[in-house]
Amino acid sequence: MKRSYLILLPCTILLLAGAAPASFAEGEIPARPEQLTYNSLDFEVPGVDNYRHELSNGIPIYVAQDRDLPLVTVSITLRAGNFVEPDGKLGVAEMAGTMLRRGGTASRNAEEFDERAAFLAANISSFTGDTSSGASVNCITPVFGEALELFFEMLKSPAFQQDRLDVEKNNLLERMKQRNDRPQSISGREWRWLMRGEDHFSARMMTQANVAALAREDLVDYYKNYWRPENMMVAVSGDVETSEVLAQLEKHFQGWDVKGPTVPWPPVPPTHTPNPGVYHVEKDIPQGRVLIGHLTYQRKSWKDKEESPLRILNDILGGGGFTSRLVKRIRSDEGLAYSAGSGFNLGLYWPGTFSVRYQSKSPTVALAAKIAMEEIDRIRTSKVSEEELAVAKGSFIEVFPRRFESAADIVNTFVNDEYAGRPAEYWINYRDRIQAVTADQVLKAAKKHLDPEKLVFLIVGKWDEIAPGDPDKRASMKEFFGGKATELPLRDPLTLEPMK
């Protein structure tokens, strides 16, 4: 086998080398990249009905066959998460999601489970997020039956082994000790609190006391209440036969009928209203880390006509990489930051956030902020150019097929659709909605959803070097909110109490 590779490789190189001069001789390669032409991409969105099935207990199963490689992935998405954590049990949902995989089962201790998974070369995982949880198994086709058995053993009879829980709690404490080591960790924490308040589940953070209070029984109770089949959706992709894998899943779910509390849906939204202004956290670093933004759009329905103009707006303002205005001015023209950009989080269950993000040397933080404000004002007061509009539309339309690029992409998209209540027509009409966006619509969206009066500035860095601005006196922090700034204390990483 090795000899054939050694023979084939030089032959391939010779063939490729011989083909290149012919192309040049025929003049098929344009002189400049912009002269390249491409055939139009004809892509049809896969039909969800070709992939969706239901087990006898009503659990939706999405299956996409892919015979290219002898690999199979099964993923479970669960309607549970931090949003259903019991009062006084902060962290139990996340720890349960972690320990489901790491804590062994009723018939195998954690070490035996790990050994069996390693023997099968099966990648088995579990997790918990804010508004969803999940688990998955990935393996080669010849061991799929055995790996699936092991996977459902984990799902149906986790042991939450005490010594493994102790290890995970210690690991969590060690990670918590590093919370102030990185400025992005500090800014992320404070930004969530400024936007959502400290009490909403999407912004709550564990302390040392919360970790100490977590007991194995808490994980068991949470698991029994929420890791139930009726809350699950399943995606299967890879080298499988649909009828066979449905029969396997039917067998594994059979008899797993557990009752528990009704999951409240949708999750409860935050009630906190951000206070506009400049906030800073003192941190001895050479660059200031900056976030500027406010709460904004919440989708009214999946037919909401404001969504597409907002996507285009953000792409032109700062979401489109090197073609966006913020990157061009802050990075390319002024050289104030290595990276800069904006984001529009389109809220599904509550209002999302608009934000501008960048890092800059302390004396030029204010100048970059001034430029960002100028660009926010410009996109709110004058229409974007037709060229910008075309580039932004193309960036969404041309990469759209990648959402369905693989079998796993297809079924995961459909599971997410069903989880969020997104209809199939959303993707079928997606490109048409993007293509129909006009400069007038972008301007209208900017005026409605960008409000300079509501902006929150969060800066992590050396304030005495940031506040005065650049040596050329082009900008200083006094230009924002009348020069008023609120210092937020650096928090103790374990207690989150202000540090003296």
Give one DSSP letter per residue of 71-129, joined into a string.
EEEEEEEES-SGGGPPTT-TTHHHHHHHHHHHS-BSSS-HHHHHHHHHHTT-EEEEEE-
CB-CB contact of 429 with 420 (8 Å): no
What is the model's pLDDT at position 13? 36
Compute the distance between CA of residue 202 and CA of residue 129 in angstroms, rounded to an integer.
9
Specify the residue for token string 């194995």. 216
State pLDDT tens for residues 37-85: 877 778 999 999 999 999 999 999 999 999 999 999 999 999 999 999 9
What whole-number distance in Å separates Cα of residue 404 and Cα of residue 431? Answer: 14
What distance in Å separates the CA atoms of residue 84 and residue 79, rounded to the nearest whole number? 10
Residue 108 pLDDT exceeds 90: yes
Output the CA–CA distances (angstroms, integers) from residue 217 to 166, 225, 307, in the order listed. Answer: 13, 12, 44
**Separation of alpha carbons 151 and 113, rounded Å:** 10
Taking a C-beta distance cutoff of 8 angstroms, is the pair 325, 367 a contact? no
Half-sphere exposure of 179 (CA within 13 A, CB side): 21
Q: Are strands 133-140 and 71-78 parallel, antiparallel or unpaired?
A: antiparallel
Pairing of strands 277-282, 52-54: unpaired
| Cα angle, residue 422 at apex, residues 429 and 49 outer, rounded to 5° | 80
Q: How far from chain centre, in Å, is Cα 18? A: 46
- How far is residue 163 CA from its own chain's centroid? 32
In this prediction, residue 27 carries a pLDDT of: 58
Give the type of residue at 215.
A
Convert 60-76 to b/e letters by CB count within 10 Å (16 or more is b): bbbbbebeeeebbbbbb
What does the pLDDT average to over 92-99? Answer: 98
Architecture per CATH, 48-253: 2-Layer Sandwich (3.30)
Q: What is the pLDDT of residue 25?
A: 40
pLDDT at residue number 24: 37
Q: For residues 376 and 383, give the distance between their C-alpha atoms in angstroms, rounded to a whole number.
A: 12
Instruction: Please say if the pLDDT value at position 1 is more than 90.
Output: no
Q: Find the mean pLDDT for residues 383-403.
A: 96
Residues 6+ apart with CB under 8 A from 129: 81, 82
Q: Is the pTM of this model over 0.85?
A: yes
What's the Cα-to-Cα distance from 383 to each of 91, 180, 262, 378, rounded to whole Å?
47, 42, 49, 8
* Residue 26: per-residue pLDDT: 52
> What's the pLDDT at 193?
98
As a whole number, the mean pLDDT across the chain is 93
**pLDDT in the model for residue 8:** 35
Q: Is the pLDDT of residue 12 over 50?
A: no
- Are 460 and 281 in contact by the 8 Å Cβ rule? The answer is yes
| Across 24-28, 214-218, 238-242, 403-407, least confident range | 24-28
**Per-residue confidence (pLDDT) for residue 133, from 0 to 100:** 98
| Extents of the domains making up the chain | 48-253, 277-488
Q: Given this model, what pLDDT does residue 443 score? A: 98
We find that the CATH architecture of domain 277-488 is: 2-Layer Sandwich (3.30)
Mean pLDDT computed over 424-438: 96
Q: Do 48-253 and 277-488 show the same overall fold?
A: yes
Whether 305 has a pLDDT exceeding 50, the answer reads yes
How much is the pLDDT for 278?
A: 98
- Condensed to tens digits (0 to 9), the pLDDT of residues 21-41 reads 334 345 578 888 878 887 777
Enumerate the β-bridge partners of residue 71: 140
Flag whether pLDDT at 7 surpasses 70.
Answer: no
pLDDT tier at 17, thresholds 50, 70, 90? very low
Tell me how far apart the alpha carbons of residues 353 and 336 are, in angstroms, rounded to a whole number.
Answer: 24
Containing 43, the helix (H) or strand (E) segment is none
How much is the average pLDDT of 118-126? 98
Distance CA 187, CA 281 (A): 8
User: What is residue 249's predicted lDDT score, i.e. its pLDDT?
Assistant: 98
Q: From edge to edge, which strands make up the β-sheet containing 71-78?
A: 52-54, 60-65, 232-238, 71-78, 133-140, 123-128
Residues in the chain: 500
Peptide bond into 267 cis (omega under 30): no
